[in-house]
Chains A and B, each alone.
Chain A
Amino acid sequence: MTALTGAVVPRKYLPVLVTAGLFLAMFIAGGTRYEGFFSAQVVLNVFIDNAFLLVVAVGMTFVILTGGIDLSVGSMVALATMVAAVLLNAGWPPVAVIVVVLLIGAGLGLGMGCMIHFFEIQPFIATLAGMFLARGLCYTIGTDSIPITDPTFTAAAQTQVPLGGELWISPSVLIAVAVVGIAAYVLHQTRFGRTVYATGGNEQSARLMGLPVARTKLGVYTISGFCSALGGLLLAFYMLSGYGLHAVGLELDAIAAVVIGGTLLTGGSGFLIGTVLGVLILGLIQTVISFQGTLSSWWTKIFVGLLLGAFILLQRVISGRKK
C-alpha cells in the first residue's frame, strides 16, 4: 500500500483505491472459500438487496461532503414506505403516490436544512430531531405493517431485468445506478457540486469567497431528504409493505458506507464511487455471513465496526501526513 502513495496516484484517490482493493480481496477470498460464491450474480444480488441503501447513502454523501451529518434518513425511509402504503391502499394512483412521497422527503430535508443554516443548530441535533419526528409520524399513521398490493409496485418488486446469460437485476438497481450517475455528475461537473466541496473544505472561507453557502447547505439536506424518500420507495418495492419499524438503524449503515468509501467526516474530501464501494462492502459482508451459514448476523455488525475503525484510522494517517 505504501507503494501506492506518493507520486503514483494523487493522495486524494488513495482511500477509494483502498476500498476498491478491499472489496476485491473480500470477493476473491469469498470465492475461494465458498462454493458458488464466485459469480457475477452474487455481486448483482448485493446490488439488488441494497439498492435502497445505495440511494440513501448517495444523499448522505452530499451532506457529509459539506461537513454535516443526517441522522434522519432511516426514519425518513420508514415514513416513505408508510405514506406510500397508506396512500396506495386509499386508491391513489401510483405515480401520484411516488410524487407525494418524494416531495415529503425533500420538504422535510429542506426543513432540517433551514434549522441548521438559519438557526445555526448543529446538524447532529437538527437531524436527530428529524429522526424522532419522522419515526413518530410513522406511528401516528399506524403501528402495524401495511401490505402493498398495488400492481405497479408488485411489478417493480418482481420484474427481473435480464442482463444476458443467467444474470439479472431488479428495476430498483437501475434506479439506484441512475441516481449514482446523476449525483456523480452533479458533484463533479456543476457549480453546485463544487460548492458542496468548497463548503466542506472551509465554510467560512467559502462564504468570504462569495459562494452561496446558504443555498448549498439547504440544497444538500433537501437532496438527502429526497434520496431517503426515494430509498423508501425502493424499500417498499422490495418489501411490499409500509412499516414504522422498517430501516431501523439505516442511518448508521449509510454513514458507515460513506466513511468506508473514503469520504472524510469533516467534509470536503471524498468521491461518490467510494460510497458505492462502501455499500457493496457492507452487502458483501452479509453475503459472506449467509454463505458461511454458521455465523449469526451479528457478525455483520462486528465486521462493519472493525472496518469502520480501520478506515477512520486510515483517514487520520492520510490527512495527518498531508504536511
Chain B
Amino acid sequence: MTSAAPILQLTGIGKQFPGVTALDDVDLRVLPGEVHALMGENGAGKSTLIKVLTGVHPADSGTILLDSREVTFGSPLDAQQAGISTVYQEVNLCPNLSVAENVLIGREPRRFGRIQWKAMRRRAAERLAELDLDLDVTAPLSQYSLAIQQMVAIARALEVKARVLVLDEPTSSLDTGEVEQLFRVMRTLKEQGVAILFVSHFLDQVYEIADRMTILRNGRREGDYPTGELSQVELIAKMIGRDLAELERLEERPPARTTGTLLQADGLGRTGGIEPFSLTIREGEVVGLAGLLGSGRTEVARLLFGADHATSGSVTLDGEPVSLRTPQIAMTHKIAFCPEDRKADGLIPDLTVRENVVLALQARRGWTRPIPREQQAQLVDRYIKALKISPANPEQLVRNLSGGNQQKVLLARWLILEPRLLILDEPTRGIDVGAKAEIQRLVAELSDGGMAVLFISAELEEVLRLSHKVGVLRDRRLIAELPNDDTLTTEVLMQTIASGGRS
C-alpha cells in the first residue's frame, strides 16, 4: 500500500494570520485507501490545514497535488467538484432548512431544473440509514441535537462520491454507537479506495481506525508515522512536546468532603423532555451523568438551570424550596451552566477573549456596574494560564481561535463565576489530551473546594474519573444512581445503560 502514489500531496504549505503563523512549511501525503489521522494540540493548525486544502483560505505558500496534478481551489465548491468532500470542525449546515435539504442541497435530484422533492427525501433517508439514523427528513435541522446535526453533516459528505474525504473532529459530540457506525462506513469507503483524512482528540478512536498519522505541533509538521509504530505515549509526547506521565497525575478521587445537601430535585420533569426524576447534589460533590445521545442528559441540566420549564416536581436549595424558572434566577442562586453548543448558545465570535470571559460575571453584577478593566485583565489572565488558552492574548477575537481554544474560553466564563453548582455539558468536547487533563484537574480542585459539579460527558472514562456518583439515563429517564466506588467501571455503566437499569 505504501508503494501506491499519493492521491493527495501537500508540500511546503505556509499560512499566516495577523500575528499568528498557523502553518509553517507543512507537508502531508495521503494515500488512496488509507485513513490518515491529522494529530496535534488545540491550535496546532489542523483545521487551518484542512481549510487551506479545501479552498476556504488561500495558502501563503506551498503546493497541493491531487492525483499528481497541481490544483488551487478558490472555494469549497471547487474542492468538492474536484472530489474532496469535507466535514468541517463546527457543524456547518443551515438550521432553517429541512434535514433532507441539508443532506442534498446543491445536489438535489432534478428534472428540467425542478427539484424532485420525493426522490430527494428518499435519497436523504437512505443516506441517513447508512449511518443508522432514522429521522424525520422534512423537519428543520434546528430541531435536532448537535450530535444528530453532526451525523447529518457526515451524511452530506458521504453523498458526494469523493475520492478524498476530510473529517475534522466528526466524532466530538457522538457517542460510542454512532462512532462505531461511522467507522463501519469509513472502512467500507476505504475498501473502495477512498482516502480519508481524519482529525480527532480521542486517541483510542485514532488507533482504532487510522493507518497512518501526521503530527502537527505549533503549525509545524512533527513527522508522519504508521499508527502501529507509534505508541500512544510517544504520540502524546510528540504532540505536546512533553511527557504524558505529567498529565496522568490525576489520582483516585478522594471521597467528597460532603458537608450538606446543596440541591435536591424531587420528581422534577417536563413532558416531552424528561420523565420525573429525583436527584440529590451535595456540596463538593461531582455528579456525573451518563447515557446515550438523546437520553435526556442535557434536559436534566436545562431544567436545573431554568432554561426549560419543569412541568412537575420541585427543587430545594439548602433545604429551601426554590423555583428555577429562568436562567437569571438560577444564576442568582449561584448555579452556572456551560452549554454543549458553543456556537449556538455560548460564545460571541466577534468579541475578544476577555469580553467573552467576563460576560456572565458582568451580567450577574448588573450592567450599570462595569468591572474595572484591571480586574478583568487579572481574572482573564488567570484563566488563560489555567486552561492554557492559546494564543494567550486576551484581546484576540474569539472567532480567530481554534475550536478547542474556543471551548476553553466558554469554560472560563462559567468558572470565573465561582458558582456553587456548576453544570458542565460536554465541557471537554474538541479539547486535546493535555488540556483535557488540565480541565479535569481543575474540576477536581474546585469540587475539593466545596463547589458541586454536574458533569455530562459522552466519554464514560472521563465521567468515572471525576464523579463521586453517576446518574445513568436512558430514553429520557433517570434509571439508576450509582456511587462511584471501586466496582464501578465503564463496562458496568454500559451494561446499566443497555439493560435499562433492571439488572
Chain A contact residues, CB within 8 Å of chain B: 12, 189-191, 194-195, 197-198, 200-202, 204-212, 268-269, 322-323
Contact = CB atoms under 8 A, between A and B. Distances in A.
Q: How large is the interface on B (under 10, 10 to 19, 20 to 34, 35 or more residues)?
A: 20 to 34
Contacts of B75: 207, 210
Interface in B148-176: 156
A195 B76 contact: no
Nearest to B76: A210
B7 interface: no
Interface in B112-146: 113-115, 140, 142-143
A209 B76 contact: yes
Contact of A209 (B81, B106, B114, B142): B106
B110 A209 contact: no
Contacts of B86: 208
Contact of B95 (A190, A191, A194, A201): A201
Q: Which 6 A-B pairs have the closest CB atoms?
A: A201-B94, A201-B96, A205-B92, A268-B96, A210-B80, A208-B92
Given A197-B94, A205-B93, A211 B105 contact: yes
A190 B94 contact: no
A212 B77 CA distance: 7
Report which residue of B75, B143, B156 has the largest number of chain A beta carbons within 10 angstroms of its beta carbon: B75
A198 B353 CA distance: 30
Given A191-B113, A201-B96, A205-B93, 13 more contacts: A12-B140, A194-B101, A194-B115, A197-B97, A198-B94, A201-B97, A205-B94, A208-B88, A208-B92, A209-B105, A212-B106, A323-B142, A323-B143
A211 B106 contact: yes
Contacts of A198: 94, 96-97, 101, 105
Interface in B44-75: 56, 75
Contacts of A212: 77, 106
A269 B80 CA distance: 27
A99 B325 CA distance: 61
A202 B88 contact: no
A191 B115 CA distance: 7
Nearest to A204: B92
B108 interface: yes
Contacts of A206: 94
Nearest to B138: A10
Interface string B417-429: 0000000000000
A212 to B, nearest CB: 6
A191 B108 contact: yes
A154 B285 CA distance: 84
Given A190-B113, A208-B56, A195 B95 contact: no
Contact of B114 (A190, A204, A268): A190
Nearest to A202: B94
16 contacts: A12-B140, A191-B113, A194-B115, A195-B105, A197-B97, A198-B94, A200-B96, A201-B94, A201-B97, A202-B92, A202-B93, A206-B94, A207-B76, A209-B76, A210-B80, A323-B143
B97 A191 contact: no
Nearest to A214: B75
B107 to A, nearest CB: 9
Contacts of A201: 94-97
A207 to B, nearest CB: 6
A204 B110 CA distance: 25
Contacts of A191: 105-106, 108, 110, 113, 115
A194 B105 contact: yes
A208 B106 CA distance: 12
Contacts of A207: 56, 75-76
A250 to B, nearest CB: 28
Contacts of B101: 194, 198
Nearest to B116: A189
Contacts of B113: 190-191
A46 B95 CA distance: 37
A209 B156 contact: yes
Nearest to B160: A210
B76 A194 contact: no
A208 B76 contact: yes
Contact of A194 (B79, B92, B97): B97
B94 A268 contact: yes
Nearest to B55: A210
Contacts of A195: 105-106
Nearest to A268: B96
Given A191-B108, A191-B110, A209 B92 contact: yes
A194 B106 CA distance: 9
B72 to A, nearest CB: 16
A200 B96 CA distance: 9
A194 B142 CA distance: 17
Contact of A210 (B77, B96, B97): B77
Contacts of A190: 113-115
Contacts of A204: 92
A190 B56 CA distance: 26
A12 B97 CA distance: 11
Given A191-B115, A207-B76, A202 B95 contact: yes
Contacts of A210: 75-77, 79-81, 106
A269 B98 CA distance: 12
Contacts of B88: 208
Contacts of B79: 210
B56 A197 contact: no
Nearest to A188: B115
Contacts of B156: 209
Nearest to A207: B76
A1 to B, nearest CB: 20
A50 to B, nearest CB: 29
A209 B77 CA distance: 8
Contacts of A189: 114-115
Nearest to A194: B105
Report which residue of A190, A194, A210, A269 has the largest number of chain B beta carbons within 10 angstroms of its beta carbon: A210
A206 B93 CA distance: 7
Interface string B190-229: 0000000000000000000000000000000000000000
A208 B88 CA distance: 8
A189 B112 CA distance: 11
A20 B79 CA distance: 45
B50 to A, nearest CB: 11
A81 to B, nearest CB: 33
Contacts of A208: 56, 76, 86, 88, 92
